[in-house]
Amino acid sequence: MRRNTGRFSGYIRPFSYGLDLIIINLLAEFILNQSITTLYFHIYVSFTWLVISWNIGFYEIYRYTNLNEIYEKIFKQYIAFVIVNFAFIGFFSKLSAPTEVFKFTTTVVLLISAEKLFFYYFLKRFRVIFGGNYRNVVLIGEQKNTNQLAHFFNDNPDYGYRLQKTFDIETEKKAKIQECYQFVLENKIDEIYCSIEDLSNSEVNDLIDFSDNNLKTLKFLPNKKEPTSRNLKYDYYGYIPIISLRNIPQEIWLNKMVKRVFDIVFSILIIVFLLSWLVPIMALLIKLESEGPVFFKQGRPGYNEKEFFCYKFRSMRINNTTEKEASKGDPRVTKTGRFIRKTSMDELPQFLNVLKGEMSVVGPRPHLWSQNKSYANKIKKYMVRHYVKPGITGLAQVKGFRGEIETDEDMINRINLDVFYIENWSLFMDVKIIFQTVVNIFKGEEKAY
């Protein structure tokens, strides 16, 4: 499971996108004939560059990516970029300038490739000289199985991994595993690497639960004697195969950008066209019925379990039991509050949280801190929900698991759907959940009180 801990600055990749688009459009002006470089061409060439990049993973380069893979991506990008540019002049038959187009595409790819390689080597030197952009790691397994990876980490500081300790479990296995857990918690370890053939199924499951509940990245060294039967993600550190337990789509930068742009646009539309006139009406209704503020704000655990203040229209009378969730017939809820909770209108101010970047339109609902403390160790994978931003609505909510948690099974079903959403996210899924949320509001929901 991946986290952002210790990664290079989140600004580098968007900067690379922006710089590359500037290079492409400036070179088009300098190299191509003015009859070609219309506004339509600039839009076309920028859009197709991004689409090609997205499909071949041109910008998906990590600290363990080898040069051969980078050169392969550059070659694929070049061929596809040449084709789409010739397709443009082929469509507009009067623009017959194949030599110019070939010169333009070749210069673009050469210049951008030089920039990409510069950043690749710069980050490697940065890790070695300044010790930045690193991740603290530990190894678990018998020495004969972990020794090769330990040497790799120690001999390649440019990859940015700091091996803090190796736990040899050839003897006193249970004690060593418990010692590892304690060490990870006390020393701000980012990633755990485990030799999968040295652990039993129950020990692997315990390690997965520990990693999930403490937001630690867990990766496996595969069994050398037999192929793995699970469809897991493989990476290579040099020639050493590494298995990643879980691949989270929202951790891919482009997916993250697409989701964020969607959140910003959607929340601005709601704020401008709905909240702008609804807030004064709601303020009047809430104030007429009970004393207190129009808005209610409450600290909730968000992304990476970092606290943020979640906004709502106040639906209850002022009380000292805000950490207790509402139940059916709750005397704290006002008449206006009962209506806005039934229609989910009380959640609308959370679009301000979305605009601030604390929440997303769709994601796991942010729970109360008391619920986090109660269920974190009781329900497996509960903490996985903190790997993405919380949402105003979510898959669990549209599937009927919203409102009061009456039994542990209610929470288990909610967490299972949250984890499914995190591991299978797509923009289409978000749109589908939003549509289903609107349908459910008009249909009415049993637990909306």
Asked, for residue 3, whether it belongs to a domain, the answer is: no
Q: 150 and 64 in one domain? A: no
Q: 331 and 277 in one domain? A: yes
Chunk the chain into consecutive blocks of 10 residues (it has 449) and report each block's average pLDDT, rounded to whole numbers.
45 83 93 83 92 86 76 90 85 66 91 89 76 84 89 84 92 91 93 90 90 90 57 69 77 86 94 94 91 92 94 86 64 87 91 96 93 86 92 92 77 90 90 92 67
The confidence score (pLDDT) of residue 228 equals 43
Q: 171 and 124 in one domain? A: no
Instruction: Specify whether the CB–CB gap between 120 and 66 falls below 8 A.
Output: no
The confidence score (pLDDT) of residue 400 equals 85
Asked, for residue 7, whether it belongs to a domain, the answer is: no
The domain boundary, picked from 82, 107, 130, lies at: 130
Q: How far apart (Å, rounded) are the C-alpha atoms in residues 184 and 190?
A: 8
The domain boundary, picked from 197, 232, 247, lies at: 247
Q: 226 and 84 in one domain? A: no
Q: 124 and 53 in one domain? A: yes
350 contact partners, CB below 8 Å, separation of at least 6: 310, 311, 312, 359, 392
Q: 49 and 109 in one domain? A: yes
- Short-list 414, 415, 412, CA closest to 447: 414
Q: 187 and 274 in one domain? A: no
- How is 335-402 classified by DSSP, letter by letter? HHHHHHHHTTGGGTTHHHHHHHTS-EEESPPPPPHHHHHHHTTTSTTGGGGGGS--EEE-HHHHTT--
Quote the domain boundaries for residue 212: 135-247
The confidence score (pLDDT) of residue 114 equals 92
The confidence score (pLDDT) of residue 58 equals 87
Q: 144 and 97 in one domain? A: no
Q: 68 and 198 in one domain? A: no
Q: 378 and 286 in one domain? A: yes
The domain boundary, picked from 97, 130, 163, lies at: 130
* Tally of domains within the chain: 3
Q: How far apart (Å, rounded) are the C-alpha atoms in residues 217 and 357?
A: 24
Q: 258 and 217 in one domain? A: no
User: Kind of pairing, strands 240-244 and 360-362?
Assistant: unpaired
The confidence score (pLDDT) of residue 229 equals 42
Asked, for residue 4, whether it belongs to a domain, the answer is: no
